[in-house]
Chains A and B, each alone.
Chain A
Amino acid sequence: MRIFSGSRIFLLLSITALLAVVSCQAVPAGPQIVYRDVWGPTSPKSVANGAVYLVIENKGSEADRLIGASSPVAETVELHEHFNEDGVMKMRPMDGLDIPAKGTRMLKPGGYHIMLIGLLEPLEAGNTISVTLMFEKSGEIALEAEIREL
Chain B
Amino acid sequence: MKSTRKLVIVFGILLGLGACGLRPYIFHGTLIQSPDPVPDFTLLGHMGQMVSLNDFRGQLVVLYFGYTVCPDVCPTTLAELRRAREVLGQSADQVQVLMITVDPERDTAEVLADYVTHFDPTFIGLTGTPDEIAAVATYYGVFYERREEEDSALGYLVDHTATQMVIDQEGHLKVVYPFGTSAEDIAADLEYMITH
Contact of A88 with B161 in the complex, beta carbons under 8 Å: yes
Contact of B152 with A93 in the complex, beta carbons under 8 Å: yes
Contact with A87, one of B115, B149, B153, B178 (Cβ below 8 angstroms): B178
Given contacts A47-B68, A109-B73, contact A87 B152 (CB under 8 A): no
CB distance from A110 to the nearest CB of B (A): 6
Chain B, Cβ-Cβ closest to A109? B76
Q: Check: B11 CB closer than 8 A to any chain A CB.
A: no
Interface band, chain A? 20 to 34
Q: In whole angstroms, how far apart are the Cα atoms of A133 and B153 in the complex?
A: 18
Contacts of B180 in A (CB 8 A): 110
Q: Check: B114 CB closer than 8 A to any chain A CB.
A: yes
B3-55 contacts to A, CB under 8 A, are none
CB distance from B23 to the nearest CB of A (A): 29
Contact with A115, one of B71, B76, B110, B113 (Cβ below 8 angstroms): B71
Q: Check: A76 CB closer than 8 A to any chain B CB.
A: yes
Contact of A88 with B160 in the complex, beta carbons under 8 Å: yes
Q: Check: B162 CB closer than 8 A to any chain A CB.
A: yes
Contacts of B115 in A (CB 8 A): 44, 46-47
Q: Check: B127 CB closer than 8 A to any chain A CB.
A: no
Q: In whole angstroms, how far apart are the Cα atoms of A91 and B69 in the complex?
A: 11
Count of residues in B whose CB is under 8 Å from the partner chain: 30
Chain B, Cβ-Cβ closest to A46? B114
Q: How many Cβ-Cβ contacts under 8 Å join chain A to chain B? A: 89
Contact of B71 with A50 in the complex, beta carbons under 8 Å: yes
Contact with B75, one of A46, A76, A91, A150 (Cβ below 8 angstroms): A150
Q: Check: A90 CB closer than 8 A to any chain B CB.
A: yes
Contact of B76 with A76 in the complex, beta carbons under 8 Å: no
Contacts of A49 in B (CB 8 A): 69, 71, 154
Contacts of B160 in A (CB 8 A): 88-89
Contact of A82 with B73 in the complex, beta carbons under 8 Å: yes
Contact of A78 with B152 in the complex, beta carbons under 8 Å: yes
CB distance from B68 to the nearest CB of A (A): 5
Q: Check: B163 CB closer than 8 A to any chain A CB.
A: yes
Contact with B161, one of A87, A91, A116, A150 (Cβ below 8 angstroms): A87
Given contacts A91-B157, A117-B154, A118-B153, contact A46 B68 (CB under 8 A): yes
B79-115 contacts to A, CB under 8 A, are 79, 110-111, 113-115
Query: What are the nearest 7 A-B pairs in CB distance?
Result: A44-B118, A46-B114, A150-B79, A76-B153, A89-B162, A109-B76, A90-B159
B interface, CB within 8 angstroms of A: 68-73, 75-76, 79, 110-111, 113-115, 118, 143, 149, 151-154, 157, 159-163, 178-180
> Can you spell out 21 A-B residue pairs with CB atoms less than 8 angstroms apart?
A44-B114, A45-B118, A46-B110, A46-B113, A47-B68, A49-B69, A49-B154, A51-B71, A75-B153, A76-B153, A80-B71, A87-B161, A88-B159, A89-B162, A91-B159, A109-B72, A110-B72, A110-B180, A115-B71, A117-B153, A150-B75
A interface, CB within 8 angstroms of B: 41-47, 49-51, 75-76, 78, 80, 82, 84, 87-93, 109-110, 113, 115-118, 149-150
